[in-house]
Amino acid sequence: MLQVSIYRYNPETDLEPYMQDVQVDTGGKDLMVLDVMELIKADDDTVVYRRSCREGVCGSDGVNMNGTNGLACVTPLSKAVRKNKLVLRPLPGLPVIRDLVVDMSLFYAQYEKVQPYLQNQSPAPAIERLQSPEEREKLDGLYECILCACCSTACPSFWWNPDKFIGPAGLLQAYRFLADTRDTATDERLARLADPFSVFRCHGIQACVNVCPKGLNPTRAIGHIRNMLLSRAI
Amino acid sequence: MVTSTATMGRSGLYDWFVQRVSAVILLAYSVFCAGWMLVNSGFGYAEWTVLFSQTWMRVFSLLALISLAGHAWVGLWVVFTDYLTERMLGPVGKVLRVLAEIVSAIIMSIYFIWGIQILWSL
């Protein structure tokens, strides 16, 4: 039997959050953490969490498993469990709505700030704005982000200043459009990032890289943004 | 973008650049001082005075002192704006932060002026 300790909080009935211990029969299988959560919910349907695609595409079930953020649906027990124990908590740093569900408003507000859409004032061609294969290659490792928030909520700088520091997820997208040869708003985008918080609150500890379920590297993207800001200034 | 009133009108790039350049100068100064002490093992007050009586060493030391002040100011400002905030502590956060900034600015100014006094034996 797997020992699971799950974070519980219902603001309508609980004065404060608490950890609930449950035992789950996994049948000796190396299930995904989401499967275990489903087994718990089958016994107690008051347990609340987000989920949708259950295959690491939608980014809904980002949770903290034994201290590490990740997507429950693609994290096998063999990777998450330590000494037959699994501790499930909501993503850290964001307000908890209920149990494992967090309020992602701050996270989305930072995403919105980077204006994550192509900006080009020149008249659109008849079919599409073309890129060479080399130009398109620059977007690899950037566009794959599914906005699960595992990275930003693993970042201490985002914990302390979630209203000012854009965070690794937002900055990865900021660079995705800075690196796009079809986008012509580079100067305006960089000007909006030059303050001491938006980008420069990143101290390069790479907690984001460590947890990204898609294997992306926001720290490298942030480094590229810094270099662009530097070349623009000198 | 974070408004300039929230950041005391500072540029993130400028702060970042100051941190890097001052770190390099401080590293060079530390390595030089450690190396000098190794090469002149058993040195006394006389050798130390000769070293610091030379203008280049005074300029190098002053540069290290300026770097230390700049590095510490930017670093502490980052620490204060991480931990002493309204988000963490409520309205008292701002008061504590401004207080901490003023106290550290005063302490750093004292050390800086005192350092110049020592270097030039004023």
What is the mean pLDDT, run by run of 10 residues, along chain B of 122 residues?
64 92 98 95 90 94 95 94 92 95 95 92 72
Q: Reduce the DSSP state of residue A128 to 3 states and report it.
A: coil
* A226: chain B residues, CB-CB within 8 Å: 13, 16
ipTM of the predicted structure?
Answer: 0.83
Rounded Cα distance between A162 and B112, Å, is 35
Q: Look up tokens 């930072």; give the residue.
A: A110
SS (H, E, C) A130-187: CCCHHHHHCCCCCCCCCCCCCCHHHCHHHHHCCCCCCHHHHHHHHHHHHCCCCCCCHH
Q: Reduce the DSSP state of residue A83 to 3 states and report it.
A: coil
Q: At what angle do helices A218-233 and A167-178 cross, to 10 degrees?
A: 60
Tokens at residue B114, please? 């005192």
State the average pLDDT for chain A: 96
Res B5: pLDDT: 54
CB atoms within 10 A of CB A5: 15
Q: How far apart are the first and last CA of chain B?
A: 46
Res B7: pLDDT: 63
Res B1: pLDDT: 64
- Looking at CA atoms only, how far is residue B43 from chain A in angstroms? 40
Res A72: pLDDT: 97
Phi, psi of A98 (to 5 degrees): -165, 135
* A160: chain B residues, CB-CB within 8 Å: 82-83, 85, 87-88
Instruction: For chain B, positions 31-70, list CB contacts with chain A under 8 A.
Output: none
Res A27: pLDDT: 93
Res A30: pLDDT: 96
Res B10: pLDDT: 75
Res B11: pLDDT: 86
* pLDDT (mean) for A179-184: 96
For A125-170, write each residue's pLDDT tens digit. 999 999 999 999 999 999 999 999 999 999 999 999 999 999 999 9
Residue A214 touches partner B, C-beta closer than 8 Å:
no
CB–CB contact A198 B13 (8 Å)? no
CB–CB contact B12 A196 (8 Å)? yes
For A48-93, write each residue's pLDDT tens digit. 999 999 999 999 999 999 999 999 999 999 999 999 999 999 999 9
Residue B13 touches partner A, C-beta closer than 8 Å:
yes
- Looking at CA atoms only, how far is residue B27 from chain A in angstroms? 19
Rounded Cα distance between A52 and B92, Å, is 42
* B20: chain A residues, CB-CB within 8 Å: none
Residue A113 touches partner B, C-beta closer than 8 Å:
yes
Q: In sequence order, what E strands does chain A have? A: 2-8, 18-24, 62-65, 68-71, 85-89, 96-98, 101-102
Res B80: pLDDT: 95
Q: What is the DSSP letter of A74?
A: G
CB–CB contact B88 A160 (8 Å)? yes
Q: Which residue type does A93 have?
A: G
Asked whether B122 and B116 are in contact (CB, 8 A), the reply is yes
Residue A39 pLDDT greater than 90, yes or no: yes
